[in-house]
Structure 1
Amino acid sequence: MTRTDERKPSIFLLSLGCSKNTVDSERLMAQAVASGLTFNDEVDEADIILINTCGFIEDAKKESIDETLAAIGKKEDGSVREVYVMGCLVELYRRELAEEMPEIDGFFGTRQLPEVLAAIGAKYREELFDRRELLTPPHYAFLKISEGCNRRCSFCSIPKIRGTYVSQPTEQLLREAALLQQQGVKELNLIAQDISVYGYDLYGKSTLNDLTLRLSDMGFDWIRLLYAYPLNFPLEVIDTMRERGNVCNYLDMPLQHIDDRILRSMQRGIGRSETIRLIDEIRQRNPEIRLRTTMIAGYPGETREEFEELLDFARQTRFDRLGCFPYRHEEHAPAFILDDTVSDEEKEERVGELMELQEGISASLNRKLEGQTLKVLIDRIEENVAYGRTEYDAPEVDNDVIIELGDTVAKEGEFRQVIIEDSTAYELFGRLCDE
């Protein structure tokens, strides 16, 4: 309902979940600010709490529920006037949430931005679609190049949450990128549920490489590619990484597993041999590339032998970055019909085994960087210590470069040359080169 209050309400926005959710929240904020609303960093000083929820995995769902309950408490004690909940969790459980939480003033799905804005007293303006109020530090941002997903991975509920795959038109993305550049963004991180098939629905083929080249031409310092699907990945992008100095030698490609039987059950569309050939081809085309991947341990029916195969694959492949999640039964995912045969305790033990193996690999790879001078982007400075990243590290998930500043001066958002002096599995320690 549109408001008639003379004083515009202030909003406390809590954005949970992935970087794709972050972009949604940034778009909402830009629209709301254009309508004269303000956002407050202090929840007790706001009139309205708005929560953008995540519904992808069990822990994220729990966090969303816990934060919503806390917001209800704020409303009940009079700290805030209204509470609204939006996003992925609502897409999955709108009816259940409405029944269990009648105190909430409104629930909105992932494709209801105009309705959310109307509820909080703002108006949706189509001409502002490209505008964003950044929640990231001002020197980097995410560019969401598509929405939804056409894959049908058995463990994933994203197609139900986000719908079918829709590429954003290239020209629109270039306009949005130009606006981000005007805001001071130096590092542009391309994101989607699946960047590999960007453009197929609009142009009849993958145009990821063309988009990357055109963004590179705009003069960003770094362009990074996140969340590539291994099937139908356009390998010409790897050549572009090698040839273009501002396209990071980095690729995040979640593989999930390597055993053929499990990959078939996961409905990944690609098997062990094709996966290995793909990785070999990527590294052959660009020896400087750093690969990040994600695995799932304890998938229904996963035997000890199949998990050992995954361990051996990780040991031999030596991914530069690797994360692993225990499989969780998601009622809105296709695999929910399978028997969840691996105990939670065993799942956690397998995750621990794989991550212990990766820790050793990461430590070994980082030791090779000691003594080298690397270009580092300073993300933040706390108590005379600077925390930055190399081109081989994505925001929020990868290694930090930790720099004791002493009497030297550094600024957040600037690139500096750093001599790496020490390392751990997930950190590099260095000092700034003398100017």
Structure 2
Amino acid sequence: SKSIKDLVAEAKYLTGQGVKELIVIAQDSTYYGLDLYGKRMISELLNELSKIDKIEWIRLHYAYPANFPKDLIETIKNNPKICKYIDIPFQHISDNMLKLMRRGITKSETIEFVETIRKNIPDISIRTTFLVGHPGETKEDFKELVDFVEKYQFDRVGVFTYSEEEGTHAAVAMKDNIPQKEKERRSAELMELQQNISLANNQKRVGQLLKVIIDSVNEDEIIGRTEYDSPEVDQEVLLSNAQNKEVKVGDFVNVRILSAQDYDLIGEIS
């Protein structure tokens, strides 16, 4: 890992190139600091980065729920520069699958984590990913996963089908025993459910005034993003009256949300 001092210096350099949004990313960002300082220091890193004047948004990617630092919830809640957004790859929810996947967390602990973070940060946007068709996933396991997604209504969801990778624990210890067609059926069922959830979540945004960063500008349309969405992987805000406004990439504008689609919002600059 790089030291906090080095990362702050790198961030200051990026602001000199016009950068206003930082994405802090690691295989598991909650482990930051253990190798350098002997303890988890992700909150300290985020707080130091937030002191840089020209940085307006800091976004955290890949924070696994097992052993999630409690102080990180407080940092996201209380620091206005930290986006109310977190990417937490849950992967599954049934105890059987969490054990087979060696996730280091149980179903009840996962649910407790989701409820805790939402209680503390009610407007948090949770992105997550799930893996279906992993060796040993029964119909009952998959049903538990569907029920979990339906109950907790995550903001952003990605679904992957299992494929054997040479050298991994699953490839060595388990037989890839679920037909590809069934893997794809499970993936499609989960994504169809999520599509409906996403539309319902988006419809709740209609009428709201949101801060939006401009990602692209062309003759036909201007595209932006809220703090609840990461670039390239999440949804966008399509601006309907942008042709009347002088905006450029990297600008922050206030946008009134006019309507919602499955995976995008339609708005006008206020």
Matched, 1:419 2:253: no
Correspondence for 1:371: 207
Matched residues in 1 for 2:37 and 2:67: separation? Answer: 15
SS in 2 for 1:329: coil
Contact 2:61 2:86 in 1 (8 A): yes
Q: Which amino acid aligns with 2:243?
A: G
Correspondence for 2:247: 410
Matched, 1:389 2:229: no
SS in 2 for 1:316: helix
Matched residues in 2 for 1:236 and 1:216: separation? Answer: 16
Correspondence for 1:207: 41
How far the C-alpha of 1:261 sits from its partner, in A, is 1.1
Contact 1:379 1:387 in 2 (8 A): yes
Correspondence for 1:232: 67
Contact 2:219 2:243 in 1 (8 A): no
Per-residue CA deviation, residues 158-192 of structure 1 (Å, 9 max, x unaligned), is xxxxxxxxx22111111111111111110000000
Contact 1:197 1:232 in 2 (8 A): no
SS in 2 for 1:190: strand
Contact 1:235 1:282 in 2 (8 A): no
Which residues of 2 match residues 334-345 of structure 1 at below 5 A?
Answer: 334-337=169-172, 338-345=174-181
Matched residues in 2 for 1:259 and 1:321: separation? Answer: 20
Correspondence for 2:237: 401
Correspondence for 1:191: 25
Correspondence for 2:7: 173
Matched residues in 1 for 2:108 and 2:114: separation? Answer: 10
How far the C-alpha of 1:235 sits from its partner, in A, is 2.2
How far the C-alpha of 1:292 sits from its partner, in A, is 0.6
Per-residue CA deviation, residues 106-143 of structure 1 (Å, 9 max, x unaligned), is xxxxxxxxxxxxxxxxxxxxxxxxxxxxxxxxxxxxxx
Matched residues in 1 for 2:138 and 2:75: separation? Answer: 40
Matched residues in 2 for 1:273 and 1:407: separation? Answer: 51
Correspondence for 1:216: 50
Matched residues in 2 for 1:406 and 1:202: separation? Answer: 49
Contact 2:128 2:157 in 1 (8 A): yes
Matched residues in 2 for 1:430 and 1:196: separation? Answer: 35
How far the C-alpha of 1:332 sits from its partner, in A, is 2.5
Correspondence for 1:65: none
Q: Which amino acid aligns with 1:428?
A: L
Correspondence for 2:160: 325
SS in 2 for 1:196: helix
Contact 1:378 1:411 in 2 (8 A): yes
Q: Which runs of 4+ in 1 moved over 4 A?
A: none
Q: What is the TM-score with the length of structure 2 in the denominator? A: 0.97
Contact 1:370 1:420 in 2 (8 A): yes
Correspondence for 2:88: 253
Matched residues in 2 for 1:175 and 1:412: separation? Answer: 24
Matched, 1:280 2:128: no
SS in 1 for 2:215: strand
Matched residues in 2 for 1:260 and 1:425: separation? Answer: 31
Contact 1:186 1:222 in 2 (8 A): yes
Matched residues in 1 for 2:73 and 2:262: separation? Answer: 26
Matched residues in 2 for 1:388 and 1:332: separation? Answer: 41
Overall identity of the aligned pairs, in %: 46
Correspondence for 2:132: 297
Matched residues in 2 for 1:356 and 1:306: separation? Answer: 18
Q: Which amino acid aligns with 2:265?
A: L
Matched residues in 2 for 1:199 and 1:245: separation? Answer: 23
How far the C-alpha of 1:234 sits from its partner, in A, is 1.1
How far the C-alpha of 1:402 sits from its partner, in A, is 0.3
SS in 2 for 1:352: helix
Contact 2:133 2:186 in 1 (8 A): yes
SS in 2 for 1:420: strand
Q: Structure 2: 5+ residue runs without aligned partners?
A: none
Contact 1:419 1:432 in 2 (8 A): yes
In the alignment of these two chains, the number of paired residues is 267
Contact 1:258 1:310 in 2 (8 A): yes
Q: Which amino acid aligns with 1:356?
A: E
SS in 1 for 2:116: helix
How far the C-alpha of 1:406 sits from its partner, in A, is 3.1
Q: Structure 1: 5+ residue runs without aligned partners?
A: 1-166
How far the C-alpha of 1:287 sits from its partner, in A, is 1.0
Matched residues in 2 for 1:331 and 1:178: separation? Answer: 41
Matched residues in 2 for 1:370 and 1:195: separation? Answer: 33
